[in-house]
Every structure is written in structure tokens, then in C-alpha cells.
Chain A
Amino acid sequence: MIRIGVVGAGKMGISHLSILGAHPSVEVAGVCDSMGYLLDVLEKYTGVAKYTDAERMLDTADLDAVLIATPSASHVDLVGAALDRGIHVFCEKPLSLSAADSMRLAARAAELRLVTQVGYHNRFVGTFGEVKRLLEAGAIGRVSHALAEAYGPVVLRPKGETWRSRRTAGGGALYDYAAHPLDLLGWYLGEPVSVTGAVLGRVFSAETDDEVYGTLGYADGANAQLSVDWSDESYRKMTTRITLWGDHGKILADRQEIQVFLRDTATVPDGYRHGWTVANTTALTRPVDFYLRGEEYSAQLDHFVHAVERAKRGETWDAVNDFASAAVTDVVIERFLHPDDAIARADEPSPRGWRAGRAARAARRSERHA
């Protein structure tokens, strides 16, 4: 049995709370939110212990782990406070709004040997996992180009009332939507060496972006295009889609379906053929013990819970979406704010985080060439 506290009882926090509540190895030891009303209702009807001060919960609830689902700008301090107390952390995405902060948190957690995970749930989606498997098997050969997309109906009018409408608080299509396809690109292709042609466009929002477009370049010459729009109500809900072109074929995948075209030159993996093969989530998704909104949400928390159990027993665990991995995504997110081909502007502060990242990459490149 592991004891988990939840900080943030918004849309994601409540959903995580429910999944944890149904997990046989978890005891929900407390819920913390700044909005007292909702907590009072939860306490009255479900008996869960409520807190309005996160540090107090971390200090007094005897937690093995904490799940943080607060507005993104608050992640750094909350995650840091949990790590300082030796508490394992699951944090909603993005890990932080600064690549430097994310890298610092990743280093700190590694030093303390704590389990960390960030809510990039697409890595637990059957179809996207199958894409990874096919790429590792070399099914389409060397990838030359990728298209990573996310569309959905989030901001459909000018007036925003929540933190999601302000970039300074971590709102906007870049942090909220683009983070997902960028994370998948990181999983499939690694860290890019360049971001160019970045467009952070506005459809409705006054204080943040609603559209994100740009080109990512990779060390091996591959490139990827990102196309994200969270003001598109022709989609019923968020839709994330990946297309990859390789020497020996191409792959299209979304949450429901994977479509694979293999050229005659491809070495065909089991279950596939030359030409088209289509596989659906019905066959690719492993069942979960408790389902809410999608298997991936339960699967990611189940993974975290088992990792914490192993860590508690002093065993090693398999890290998926750990802070180090999420920090790479945050580096890329930050590069969209300060792309390589941006014309330097005097009124913008210098982007510390990614320059450090770029220096490190340059060092690695020169090592390889040495």
C-alpha cells in the first residue's frame, strides 16, 4: 500500500484522484486545493482528508508520493518541496515553464533516487506505443520527415477566465497542447538540434497563443513539422496525430488507429505486410483494471504506483516519462519561444535555459566528431 496526496483538484486533479481512489495498492492520504468549497464537498461525501496548504500536507500526511495537478507555473516550487522531503512525484505536464528549472528538478530527483513521472499519457496509448516499437524495429528505415499535430476545441472565444488563458501562468496552446506532440517527437526522434519558423499565433486569446507551428531539425538530417491549434471546434475533443516518412515506408497514427505503408524494400515485422496494414486501438490497447476517460490515464498511474512500490522495497524501476525525459520536452517548448532564426529583440530577456542546452549539445557533437 502506498500513500499518495493530490495537489490541485481541477479537471486533471479530480480525474487522477478518482483513478488513484480505485487503485488497489493506493491509499489517498489527502487532497490539497486553494478552492475550499470543492474540498469541503469532497470531504463531506468521500471522507478524504483535505488541505489548503500543500507544504502542510507534505509535512503531516505521511506520504510516499504526491501527484501535482496545479496550474503549471506552480509546479517548480511544489515539486521542489516534495523532493526536499524525499517524496516520489507524479507531476502534470509540462514539468515547468523553464527548461533550466526542469533540468534542475530532474538532477535533484536523480540524486535523491526518487521516482518521478510527468503526465505525458500518449506514451501509454496503444497505437503510439506501436509506432515506437515499429521505429525501433527499423520497419520504415531511417525517418526523414515527421508531422506532429494536435487540434481541439479549447479556446473558442476571446474572454478567458482561467489560468489557461495566460502564458505567464502556463496557459496557451504551446504549453497545453503542443507539449504532447513535441513529447511524442522526442520519444520517436530524440532531441532536435534546431527550431525554426516558429509561429505562435493568436486566434482568440489576448494573453497567450492559440496556434503553434514550426520546424524541428535533427542531427541526422531529419526534420519535423509541428502543427497545433486549440481553437478548432471541428474536433470534438483533443486529437493528436503523428505521421512519419522513412526510407522504407510511412506510419500514420492517432489514438484510435495506426496505418502503416511498407515499401517493397522494407523488412516486414510480424503482423504487417508490404503495402498498407491498419491496426486499431481495440487490438493494441492493453486492458486496465479501472477505466476513466481512456486506458492511458490509468496505465500511467499504475506504472507510477508500481515504480514507487519497487523504490520503497529498494529495487530498481523502469522509468517512463521521468523528469529527465520531460525536461527535454521543456527545452524544445522553450525553443519555440526563442527559435534559432528569431530576430533578436531588445525587449525580450535572454533565454538562459535553452542556451545552456544548446551549449551542451554542441559539446556532445564535437565529442562525436573528435
Chain B
Amino acid sequence: MKLDRLLFGDNQFFGVNHMSEEKARQSAMRFQDTGAIIDVIDSAYAAGVRSFMCTTHDRIAEVAEHVRTHPDRYDGFTFLPCMPYAHKYANAVTEHGMLGALRHFLPDEGYLNAAMRGGRAFAGKDVDGLVTLLVDSEMKMFRGLPTPVVFLQNVVVDLLLGLRFDAAFSIFADHVRSRYGAEPGFITMNLPLALDTLERAGVENPIVCSNMNKLAFRVSGGTAAYDEVLATRRFRPIAMSVFASGAIPAREALEWVRARPQIESIVFGASSRQHIEATVDLVQELWGETIAR
């Protein structure tokens, strides 16, 4: 499966901005109606972008429903879900405690099946059933839509890395492949450690998305360590935060990425048609390939 050069991200829609709370709040206001999100996605589609890398936020369910009901307008458009939307779980843990939160999120659909898988898992202290249940509950919103890659979010990947909970990665990878026919992807702030762990867990040539930028912003362990794994390890790198939330001018940021030919794709967020088109134009120029269709 080939990854598109440009993947459209969704942080900008949900009040995430690593530079400014003010900007984050402004964008939360601007995008509080899902129609405003869809308008921007339509601009990205018109500019030739076909991959939408999105959190499993409740609002994304509305975007998915829109695409599902207008298939003629979104030929070739794919969702690359990133799960879970962590704040939903973190807030639930604060409110209900660890196990309370887990119960809260077990799906009601196919209740008997869920209870069987979850119940057996609970009794055997076996996480396979729980992991697959949680994945299925997050994937419900994408039914009937193409999801070629399914990502595990960095907060979960990185938590599991530190805990050395290797088995969770292979359980996730196997389930995503077998049930959804999708490639598993892993988002991390700790690329070298993630590669070591995924290798131990038996996940071969994994798709791994991590911060890579000229400022070394959230490049844990430093650029030299990242350059070394790019040169020596077998994996499919996706770069995120290449502009470091706007701290690096676009051309300078993308030239830095272009100098690392191993990087297959770039995730970028943008809130306006002009910004999307400018990014597409710059990538076409620097990579010498066509994105606009």
C-alpha cells in the first residue's frame, strides 16, 4: 500500500495548537460547526489531497457520515483514523477511575459478543479481547469508508513503550490487519525507542509517524538519533510537526524534509484554502511530482 505524499491532519479543528492557547481557542470557535470542518476538507480535496489523518473525535463521526452520504463528491478520499481520542479517556479515568472508565467505553453494539470477549479477557487478565473491543468501538464511525491505515495515537504508544507492554503492539497490528484489512500505524514522540519495541513485538516494516522538523521540536533524543534510524532501520516514516506549529517558515521546513528521502509522507494541518494550496504547490515544486488533480 502506497502512502500519499501529503496527509491532511485535524489538530487545527479541535483547538490543538502547540504555540498558543489563544489561537487554539480561536480555531475551536471557528470549527464548532462541523460544516466549517467539511468546507476545509473540501478545499483539501479540491487541491488534490486524498488522505485525511484524523482523531476518533465525536465530531469526526459527523464528517465520516457526511462523506458516506455523498460518495460522488469524495471519490478516492480515505480516512486514516488515529485512536483513541485520548482526552475522552483521560477525563473518564479522572471521573470514573481506571476500570470504571474501561466499562464506560466498552461498546453497546453486539453486546453479547462484547461481553463474551470482554468478560473472558477480564477473567484471564488477557488484554487481547479488551484491545480489540476498544479498537472496534473507535472504528464504528468509519464503517463503509476506506481506512487503509489505522493509527494508534502517540499518548498510548508512548505510554506502552515506557511500560514495555510489547504485546499490545502486536495485538493491535494483528487486529487492524485481520478485521479491517488495514495497515497498522504508530504515532510516537520517541521514534528510536518505538522502532526497537515494534521490532521486538514482531511488527515488520511498520508505518511510524513522529515529529521531524528542523527545530528538533519534540524530537526526543535529538535529530542525530532520528537521522540514524532513518538511515539504518526498515520502517515507513511519516513526518509530523514539520513546521513546528508555525515556528519554521514553510519552504525552509519542507526543504529540510526533502533532504531526507526516506520520509514517505508529511502530515500537515491547515485552516484555509490558500494555506492548503500553498503547501501543495510547495511540495509539488520540491518533490517534482503532481498532487493537484
Contact = CB atoms under 8 A, between A and B. Distances in A.
A153 B17 CA distance: 18
Contact of A164 (B20, B94, B161, B245): B94
Interface stretch (A40-48, A219-227, A265-273): A40-48
A281 B98 contact: no
Interface size bracket, B side: 35 or more
A290 B220 contact: yes
Contacts of B14: 236
Contacts, number: 133
Interface residues of A, number: 50
Interface in B25-61: 28
A82 B171 CA distance: 38
A37 B126 CA distance: 11
Nearest to B28: A236
Interface stretch (B65-73, B178-186, B211-219): B211-219
Contact of A18 (B24, B161, B244): B161
B220 A280 contact: no
Main secondary structure of the interface of B (DSSP, over half): helix
Contacts of A257: 19-22
Contacts of B167: 45
Which of B99, B159, B162, B190 gathers most chain A CB within 10 Å?
Answer: B162
A46 B165 contact: yes
Contacts of A37: 99, 122, 125
A282 B18 contact: yes
B17 A256 contact: yes
A14 B96 contact: no
Contacts of B217: 282, 285
B63 interface: no
Contacts of B91: 153-154
A10 interface: yes
Interface in A1-40: 9-11, 14-15, 17-22, 35, 37-38, 40
B19 A280 contact: yes
B164 interface: yes
A16 to B, nearest CB: 9
A241 B164 CA distance: 35
Contacts of A17: 162-163
Interface in A275-289: 280-283, 285, 287-289
Interface in A146-170: 153-156, 160-162, 164
B19 A38 contact: no
A53 to B, nearest CB: 20
Given A22-B161, A162-B97, A280-B20, A291 B155 contact: no
A237 interface: yes
B138 interface: no
Contact of B158 (A161, A241, A255, A292): A292
A9 B165 CA distance: 15
Contacts of B247: 280, 282-283
Given A280-B19, A281-B18, A282-B244, A18 B158 contact: yes
A161 B96 contact: yes
B93 interface: yes
A19 B21 CA distance: 26
B162 A10 contact: no
B19 A22 contact: no
A368 interface: no
Contact of B189 (A9, A15, A164, A291): A291
A161 B104 CA distance: 12
Nearest to B158: A292
B127 interface: yes
Contacts of A15: 159
A295 B99 CA distance: 27
Chain A to chain B: the 7 pairs with minimum beta-carbon distance, closest first: A18-B162, A291-B189, A22-B162, A282-B247, A291-B220, A21-B162, A280-B19
Given A154-B91, A292-B155, 13 more contacts: A10-B93, A21-B162, A38-B98, A42-B163, A45-B127, A154-B94, A161-B95, A161-B100, A254-B21, A256-B20, A256-B21, A288-B220, A290-B190
